[in-house]
Amino acid sequence: MKLEHQYADVGEVRLHYVRAGDRAGRKILLIHGWPETWYAWRHVIDELAEADGIDVVAPDLRGLGDSSRPADGYDKWTIAADLFRLVQSLWPTQPVLVVGHDWGGVVAFDLAVQLGQQTAGLAVLDVTIPVEADDGVVDFSQGGRRWHHAFHQTPDLPEQLISGREREYYTWFYTHFAAERFAGLDAAVIAEYLRCYGSAAGTKPGLAYYRALPEDRRRHTELPRPTLQVPVLAIGGDSGAGRGLEPGLSLQGFADDVTSEVISNCGHWLMEEQPAAVTRLLEAFADLVHAGWTRHTGENLDTSQ
């Protein structure tokens, strides 16, 4: 499947994104996490784009991949606003299925809120929504099990310790957050991620995602409940650092229609470890939510853009 690499100026940020599939098809936005880029979705994009009637876009988030790297604006609401502008430039009137993994799942949640009625559905992969400690049933950092959350929020020190050891540092996550059965990312895949993360300039924005966590928690805690009126799919891995049912439990506080799925023999890197299983779930969910959106609005949707 041919991938189109494009750029869009959305306010203060220039976003790189990949697009594939049927321009007149149902719209799916795929949002990556850390330490990843759009490339984490490559297998899923191939399968979705080969399906009938799907138009898929996968951007690089603010500061990451081949998008521009502003000094600030790394709270997830601001990052979602970047994608809101991208969606309005590509699909101004079309319903969108918003999908996100890891930090991309938090951004996807915020984007779904910002898009409002334009959101056809939300799928969140192996992440929970950060809230204040007394507001949620799931601890975003799993009581310190996600040790890097606190480490990355420490001023200055992570940059000093990671510098010159980027390959070792990031590869540790690709290996230890996966299921034991997973052979790991091959050298070419790691090289692609290190192309973007393997320097001080690439590391600093990734740390900024974690340093904005207090603002993310505050904003999500203040949202009205239920926050979303659309179907929500929550997917977790059952092994390694996979979160299992936690994504669904977290999202039940924000939406009434939440379906939870757990992918077996899979850790945190769902799209790398079990891309076929992820694609099957997303295809079925896309069929469900776009049909439901059409019935709800009673309109003949324009999907041509």
CA 246 from chain centre, in angstroms, equals 16
Nearest to 76 by CA among 201, 253, 219, 226: 219
The single residue of 55, 102, 126, 216 carrying the catalytic annotation is 102
236 vs 22: CA distance, rounded Å = 29
Listing DSSP states for 60-83 in one string gives PPTTSTTS---SS--SHHHHHHHH
**Distance of CA 228 to CAs 130, 140, 223, 231, 280, Å?**
16, 20, 10, 8, 24
102 included as an active-site residue = yes
| Residue 176 appears among annotated catalytic residues | no
- Whether residue 74 lies in the annotated active site: no
Residue 107 near residue 86, CB atoms below 8 Å? no
Q: Is the dihedral of CA 168, 193, 196, 105 positive or negative?
A: negative
Locus of tokens 């650092």: 241
Which entry of 74, 169, 174, 210 is annotated as an active-site residue?
Answer: 210
Positions annotated as catalytic residues are 102, 210, 268
